[in-house]
Structure 1
Amino acid sequence: MRAIVPRLLAASLFVAFAAHAATPQPPSTPKRMVSETLAGQPVNDPYRWLENPGAPDVTKWIEAQNAYTEAAIGAMPLGKTLSARIRELSITSTTRSSPTLAGGTLFYFENTPPQPQPVLVAKAWPDGETRTLVDLNKGDGNTAITAYWPSPSGRYLAYGTAEGGSELTTIHILDTKTGKPLGDELPFAGGGTTPQALAWDADEKGVIYARFDAPTASKPLREFDAYLAHHVIGEPVAKDRIVFGKGYSHVAEYILMEGEGGKSTALLANEGDGGPAEVYLREGEGQFKRVLGHDADVRSASWIGDRLYVVTFAGAPRGKIVAIGADGKTVDVLAEGEGAIQHVTPLGDGFLVVRSAGPDWWADQYDAKAGFVRRVPLPATGVAIGGVASEKGQDKALISYAGWTTPTHWAEYDGASGSLKTIFEVKPAADYSKVRVSRVEGTSKDGSKIPVTVIAMDGITPNGKRPTILYSYGGFGIPVTPGFVGPNLAWLERGGVLAYANIRGGNEFGEAWHEQGQKLRKQNVFDDFYAASQALIDTKWTDTGHLGILGGSNGGLLMGAALTQHPEQYRAVVGAVGIYDVPRHETAFANGPYNVSEYGSVADPAIAKAMLAYSPLHNVKKGTKYPAVLLTTGANDPRVAPWQSRKFAAALQDASTSGQPVLLLTRMNAGHGIGAPFSQRVGNQALSMTFFATELGLGE
């Protein structure tokens, strides 16, 4: 589930609003009881049959639910108006993302809305002409570039593609000078359950990449047991040889990083999501040798010169940096300091360290001896730092950042002088100068303080009943960061309020903040979110009749737990691609075992008992007045099974006595949200905002 953080009102599903009125009742769902015992407790599952997407009765049920949802949304009065405004606000100037420097060439994604997908471009750094290398917009927009990897000199480029939201990646290779493909296609190269990974050989004649075994007539594709293979450019894929990972882990995930000129390769190997990595080094064409184990609690690393700088949280909750040389020996570089270390990157003969403390982000510069030089002069609050593109020996780095009222900016930072010069910025489609940002603080059940960022237009003050949407995530060490308000201005300019909570499970305050929201401590996440919602009420921004909540993926689990544990607290809930039957997520879907490092395993009686205590599906109670609920999912989702949303929707529709709608939308040509085209992103924002506007009473 790594790296999937659906931004507020910005997941990937799309619905065409129907014009007819909603039917009074949702489609009926038969109960076909399956009973079992888990952790010594009897568990009844009347909706197990909904797990089979190929069954004709399930197909008909999905179609009926979609029709019911489309009718309900189509009858909501602000739908057309909000849809038009969201699309208008989404069409900004050209955007850029994911910058990488290699051999003096800058590579990045560029997108000009309403172009369905970004294109991959290159330019000689800093002032060369821009050249388009990969453009997948000639088809239906459902083929996406998943990742890219330039060779050390920048002469060649490997990139991955995936279809229809499935994330299953095929890697292609092209010559950046001619723009022509080399003909190599590397299929089954990760995606979904395990991320893509690739590193170039020093001579640029081959690559190491992550992949699954190819399916056969007798053995269907199983997205488990990923390994690293070496491919020689121009040779058939059948000749690729395994260089690491056979038998390493059933749920292996890899991050590969080339050293200077590709002469050395670092490998961060994970067993599933959310846990620490083991660190391996490889010199030339030699074997990968382990240099750090799980006990080092490594979360990220970067080559700084000829040494690998590793961010370790062992004995350092906010992180410290150690260097590993070619001999595998470690040397302390930078002790734990202010803020949690997010990542480190080279600059000149030293390095930059990006840090965070809750919603505040900054970057510090250090010299070759790890002496503090200066803080990079970025805005002190309200922005988050994205990519940092730099190369060894260069005093200048490209820093990407954005914030609540700041669309994406690229700034050239000169480490010698300390100057920061904007070289690119997205021009928004409206004026955001009257958007105001403030903070409140909640107190969780155990006394932990939870920061909540509140966003509203100038003049919109607390009156106890503002239509308010609260978002958070709470898992896998993924932080909730300041992100440009963008099309959500359509909510604010009608008097609505947006709020973002930095709850445990993320790493905003370091790895301890993450670990306090894992496994047996997962309930902390839900307590933190409830505290954030209560803070909005206590500070008179809203009340329970005007409070909506939104989350996706792991944040969908958060939504399910929030509405089942405190149904009286919220008026409306939107959960996207969420986990709701937590024990079955592990046992009955491919990605579930990858999440054991975050949630724990049902094989552990204590974990199973804790899961049953918070699992949303298992805590739906008949006769309860539940809030209005909209669940969305994608039929091709490789990360969270679509049946999770089906079963939860059926249970809520059967149990709720509030008279509020419980809606489910299944997008048949979408997945978890990765690579969604422009129309899907805009459509889903309109869907969610229309639902919230109706249920929370947003002004006309």
Structure 2
Amino acid sequence: MKHKLKFSLSLLLAILFSNIYAQKSIPDVKYPITKKGNTLDTYFGKEVQDPYRWLEDDMSAETESWVKSQNKVTQEFLAHIPYRNKIKERMTKLWNYEKYSSPTRHGEYEYFYKNDGLQNQYVLYRQKKGMDAEIFLDPNTFSEDGTTSLSNISFTKDGTKVAYSISEGGSDWRKVIVMDALSKEILEDTITDVKFSSLSWYKNEGFYYSSYDKPDGSELSAKTDQHKLYYHKLGTSQDQDKVIFGLDQKRRYVFGYITEDQQYLVINAAISTSGNELYIKDLKKPDSELICVVDNFDNDHNVIYSKGDQLYVATNLNAPNKKIISFDIDKYHPEHWLDVIPETENVLTISTGSGYFFAEYMIDAISKVYQFDPKGRKIREIVLPGVGSSSGFSGKIKDKTLYYSFTNYTTPSSIYEFDPSTGKSKLFKKPKVGFDSDAYDSKQIFYKSKDGTKVPMIITFKKGTELDGNNPTILYGYGGFNVSLTPSFSIVNATWLEMGGVYAVANLRGGGEYGKAWHDAGTQLNKQNVFDDFIAAAEYLIKEKYTSSEYLAIRGGSNGGLLVGAAMTQRPDLMQVALPAVGVLDMLRYHTFTAGAGWAYDYGTSDQSEEMFNYLYGYSPVHNVRKGVEYPATLVTTGDHDDRVVPAHSFKFASELQDKQAGVNPVLIRIETQAGHGAGTPVSKIIDQYADIFSFTLYNMGITELNAPIKSF
């Protein structure tokens, strides 16, 4: 692609680019030799080659050597970019501010998370009323390199005991430590090999957790598909833990939790990421049986509250946008359910606190929040600080004060204190960030996809930006698993905006922005809708001259990595840079790794039917890289400890691209060590990674110099 030499005035205010783009300034890339095997699979009579199957073996010395050689080539390329360190320095400076979470009360203490600025992990503090805060848990001390993170934490109802889980190197496998919360004395041996689990105490006697049997072979890639709920009795060894659910019933995801009043054990069991069975045990009756309230996987159900014999459930049964129902424990079948908060035209997310329900509705991905009592009577609309995303309003029944946060793409997340008796809010914590939010605009637009469907997108940019097609732009998307992309502030994106970049987020089908129908419209044999929505978003940005193909980058992670892989193989002419992160990229084999089979609701599987195989084969990024095609400059990113979307997806995709790429656009892969799918990644690694991503992006848009007049640069 040719690079335009004209730059917008607004961009020059942020970045002074070089006025000469010489192709020779892009260093020649000599890729490591990646051997090809002769593995051949047959699906419904069709033979499919898999030459890089050997890269799936994350335990082999050969794969380890390949990773090292690829990282070496990538780092050598990035080292040629003259402004790489400048971007890193600015991002580091912006990141260095105090960050807080909302406080929660357990026993005599309020607990909250705080990061002084550049700490790799948030520190958990606590304080009594009228006293100074003290450190309760500091994950930065768990390991020298900051790669061990604090995951779930659960207190007993009286706040005297606590169980918390840690992740090492970003893995989804966890260890659980049990501690006296008052003295901080560890009470017993560490519980190991816990995965995809909440922790829920029953009285002070023990707690429930979930896990799989440790698989044969690699714990980071081998298939795990029989989840079990265990009960750990305090003072006993882990090998005595009783299986409560999942021994006879094979389910991929099982979660158990105790209601706040300690009267019910609730179990959600699922075979995929959408739809669950619902079981309840009445703990008021010691010998009660487990009740099956819902015996199918057609809908989602979650108990949110209980009072006496009444239970309250958030469900999308006969309500695609969700509603709240209640039932008596003795009349639990769906025909006895009573609507408490009926379904509306907008998607509902519910939280509870102070004996109230707080209904957050998404209206075109923007929050509106209403307060209800348990009888479904609307108390009030909560007046939010602006247009954006709110979260919180959660607490115990006896809490007199609740907290919520508010943010959007230009406003750092602030915490508000809320009085549920009066409906009044007041600012509790506002971060001091060296970013001028008032200098930027976020604009929501609606564009039409290929089939005419109206899709929302929020575009954020510096005020005064000239729409002349010459603005470096990142288009971000996800489009899957009922996940909604709502406005939120990010230092990473703030750095991009400060450099004059445009940041656009499209709310694609497959997400949850408009309920179950919107989700289903982007699943299985409808998955192409998601890619079409994303491609149409790119075309809109180009048509309206926010950018052009020469200055467009597309980015997404996990399912969003699949999105980028599909878009760049279907329309390689549309963008200059592609940034697939921790992507699901081999659609014929994704379900054979770890818990991947649970994603079948969204994707279908290659052994499901001939029609499904042909559909997956038709868009699977690994299988749709063509020889002789000029693909965008591509930086694939993954982590060597990613046991959710195993790095083999990224390894195979990068190998295919390096082998078949035509033209000069580089194809590199950046493999982070001691890092997983994203959660718990140390701040230092995040800053390094995004400095590399932004440097790669701008450099491959023809920007060879970055002379920023921004004072803080």
TM-score above 0.5? yes
TM-superposed deviation, 1:297: 1.3
Kindly indicate whether residue 118 of structure 2 is the aligned counterpart of residue 111 of structure 1: no
Counterpart Cα distance in 2 of 1:127 and 1:326: 42
Counterpart Cα distance in 2 of 1:301 and 1:385: 22
Kindly indicate whether residue 136 of structure 2 is the aligned counterpart of residue 130 of structure 1: no
1:297 equivalent in structure 2 = 299
Match of 2:353 among 329, 346, 356: 346
Match of 1:601 among 602, 605, 611: 605
Deviation digits for residues 566-595 of structure 1 (CA, Å, limit 9, x no counterpart): 1000100111111111111113x1222121
Q: Any conservation in 1 of the 2:100–2:429 contact (CA below 8 Å)?
A: no
Q: Any conservation in 1 of the 2:480–2:510 contact (CA below 8 Å)?
A: yes
1:646 equivalent in structure 2 = 651
Q: Secondary structure at the match of 1:674?
A: coil
Kindly indicate whether residue 353 of structure 2 is the aligned counterpart of residue 369 of structure 1: no
TM-superposed deviation, 1:670: 1.4
1:438 equivalent in structure 2 = 443
Q: Any conservation in 2 of the 1:437–1:455 contact (CA below 8 Å)?
A: yes
Q: Trace 1:297-316 onto structure 2 (pairs within 5 A).
A: 297-306=299-308, 307-316=310-319
1:283 equivalent in structure 2 = 282
1:196 equivalent in structure 2 = 197
Residues 419 and 304 of structure 1, relative CA distance in 2, 3 Å threshold: farther
Counterpart Cα distance in 2 of 1:685 and 1:316: 41
Residues 216 and 276 of structure 1, relative CA distance in 2, 3 Å threshold: closer
Counterpart Cα distance in 2 of 1:215 and 1:463: 55
TM-superposed deviation, 1:168: 0.8
TM-superposed deviation, 1:356: 1.0
Unaligned residue ranges in structure 1 (runs of 5+): 1-19
What is the alpha-carbon root mean square deviation over aligned residues? Answer: 2.4
Q: Any conservation in 2 of the 1:577–1:672 contact (CA below 8 Å)?
A: yes
Residues 411 and 36 of structure 1, relative CA distance in 2, 3 Å threshold: same
2:9 equivalent in structure 1 = none
Residues 485 and 52 of structure 1, relative CA distance in 2, 3 Å threshold: closer
Kindly indicate whether residue 253 of structure 2 is the aligned counterpart of residue 252 of structure 1: yes
Q: Any conservation in 1 of the 2:27–2:80 contact (CA below 8 Å)?
A: yes
1:537 equivalent in structure 2 = 542
Letter of the 1:198 counterpart: L
1:625 equivalent in structure 2 = 630
After TM superposition, the structure 1 stretch with the greater mean CA deviation from structure 2, 612-621 or 482-491, is 482-491
Match of 1:546 among 545, 551, 560: 551
TM-superposed deviation, 1:219: 11
Q: Any conservation in 1 of the 2:445–2:457 contact (CA below 8 Å)?
A: yes
Letter of the 1:678 counterpart: V
Counterpart Cα distance in 1 of 2:607 and 2:216: 31
TM-superposed deviation, 1:505: 1.4
Residues 35 and 212 of structure 1, relative CA distance in 2, 3 Å threshold: closer
Q: Secondary structure at the match of 2:384?
A: coil
1:41 equivalent in structure 2 = 46
Q: Secondary structure at the match of 2:585?
A: coil
Residues 118 and 308 of structure 1, relative CA distance in 2, 3 Å threshold: farther
After TM superposition, the structure 1 stretch with the greater mean CA deviation from structure 2, 132-141 or 639-648, is 132-141
Q: Any conservation in 2 of the 1:232–1:240 contact (CA below 8 Å)?
A: yes
Query: Would you identify which runs of 4 or more consecutive aligned residues in structure 1 move more than 6 Å?
Result: 215-222
Letter of the 1:600 counterpart: G
TM-superposed deviation, 1:214: 5.6
TM-superposed deviation, 1:512: 1.5
Match of 1:586 among 587, 591, 597: 591
After TM superposition, the structure 1 stretch with the greater mean CA deviation from structure 2, 21-30 or 568-577, is 21-30
Counterpart Cα distance in 1 of 2:373 and 2:661: 61
Match of 1:455 among 451, 460, 470: 460
Residues 103 and 352 of structure 1, relative CA distance in 2, 3 Å threshold: farther
Counterpart Cα distance in 2 of 1:333 and 1:104: 34
Unaligned residue ranges in structure 2 (runs of 5+): 1-24, 708-713
Q: Secondary structure at the match of 2:187?
A: strand
Q: Secondary structure at the match of 2:194?
A: coil
TM-superposed deviation, 1:694: 1.1
1:235 equivalent in structure 2 = 236
TM-superposed deviation, 1:184: 4.2
Counterpart Cα distance in 2 of 1:219 and 1:336: 42
Letter of the 1:687 counterpart: D
| Identity across matched positions, percent | 32
Q: Trace 1:333-482 onto structure 2 (pairs within 5 A).
A: 333-348=340-355, 350-381=356-387, 383-482=388-487
Q: Secondary structure at the match of 2:471?
A: coil
Letter of the 1:298 counterpart: D
Q: Any conservation in 1 of the 2:303–2:314 contact (CA below 8 Å)?
A: yes
Counterpart Cα distance in 2 of 1:670 and 1:554: 18
Letter of the 2:51 counterpart: P
Q: Secondary structure at the match of 1:644?
A: helix
Q: Any conservation in 1 of the 2:277–2:301 contact (CA below 8 Å)?
A: no
Q: Secondary structure at the match of 2:87?
A: helix
Counterpart Cα distance in 1 of 2:306 and 2:412: 30
TM-superposed deviation, 1:613: 1.1
Q: Secondary structure at the match of 1:321?
A: strand
TM-superposed deviation, 1:130: 2.9
Counterpart Cα distance in 2 of 1:219 and 1:546: 41
TM-superposed deviation, 1:223: 3.6
1:148 equivalent in structure 2 = 153
Deviation digits for residues 455-497 of structure 1 (CA, Å, limit 9, x no counterpart): 1112113112211001111111111121113243222222211
Counterpart Cα distance in 2 of 1:365 and 1:219: 45
Q: Secondary structure at the match of 2:150?
A: strand
Residues 239 and 684 of structure 1, relative CA distance in 2, 3 Å threshold: same
Match of 1:78 among 71, 83, 89: 83
1:4 equivalent in structure 2 = none
Deviation digits for residues 36-63 of structure 1 (CA, Å, limit 9, x no counterpart): 2224433122222222234443333222
1:489 equivalent in structure 2 = 494
After TM superposition, the structure 1 stretch with the greater mean CA deviation from structure 2, 458-467 or 256-265, is 256-265
Counterpart Cα distance in 2 of 1:489 and 1:218: 39
Residues 458 and 299 of structure 1, relative CA distance in 2, 3 Å threshold: farther
Letter of the 1:376 counterpart: I
